[in-house]
Amino acid sequence: MLELNDKLVIGVSSRALFDLEAENKIFEEEGLEAYSAYQIEHEKDILKPGTAFPLVKALQKLNSDGRYLTEIVIMSKNSADTSLRIFNSIEHYKLNISRAALVGGGDIHPYLESFKTDLFLSANEADVQEAINANFAAGIICRHDELPIDPSGEIGQIRIAFDGDAVIFSDESERIYKEKGLEAFAEHEQVNARKALPEGPFAKFLKTISLIQQQFPQDAVPIRTALVTARSAPTHERVILTLRAWNVRIDEVFFLGGMKKSDVLKAFGAHIFFDDQAVYTDPASKVVPSARVPYKQN
């Protein structure tokens, strides 16, 4: 019997994996019946890749050498009847995805634990918010017409980039910055430099990636990670010591001190970038696939 406990499990919505913006517009403007009729009528038409497509395609490389390290699960509000177009497109692109949770308009978040989900990606903000509230790593896919997605493009090393505060780490320090300003933030981080930052919504996901990295020789690691943060010296020390305390590997770290992140992300070649602020994800989404991480609501 297949067990998912020791796999990197990614739950992805159909609108994150494929470009379903026109179909979603039909749903919003004309209702479920019109949407269902359209999908059934066009179920032989292959969908274009969406924002999460490069990451999904890249992650499946983890299973290419006989190892079985990752599982991709379609998690969709579609019903079984309207999902055939999605599975026809999956087959067309030769994506190895055989599992799905099709909730027929219901809530997705109750099933994240059932599938042992490490990361959930969706274009539906409410679904992502519910996942974050339930303590799962989740991101709202940021779609942008300027971002070219080539379904036939060669995948080298899998590249995943993260912001720090409110993503890998908790939003504790970021709240101080927002409430009291940069000087108070810097002072707080210097005073607490030797105290590990609390875990944020993506801490467990990052640790799982680090465990996968440790299974490979240094010159053959299939995943490369980057921390791309607005922090700068002297607030860098606490970040470095926290990652050391977690025994987590980050391959590249960029302390940008408020510089725009998109140029660095493009040079890094991220298959996905996670940040909590639209001021960073909006421009980044023009050059690399990006997802915004909402704050947890108590």
Q: Which H, E and C letters describe 10-28, residue by residue? A: EEECHHHHECCHHHHHHHH
Active site residue 275: no
Long-range CB pairs of 211-218, under 8 A, 24+ apart, other chains included = 212/8, 212/62, 212/69, 213/249, 214/249, 215/67, 215/69
Residue 240 burial (10 A CB sphere; 0-12, 13-18, 19+): middle
d(CA 49, CA 18): 4
Q: How far apart are the first and last CA of the chain?
A: 37
The active-site residue, picked from 19, 118, 127, 163, is 163
Residue 211 and residue 225 in contact, taking contact as beta carbons nearer than 8 Å: no
Fill in the DSSP letter of residue 46.
Answer: P
Query: Which residues have a catalytic role annotated?
Result: 163
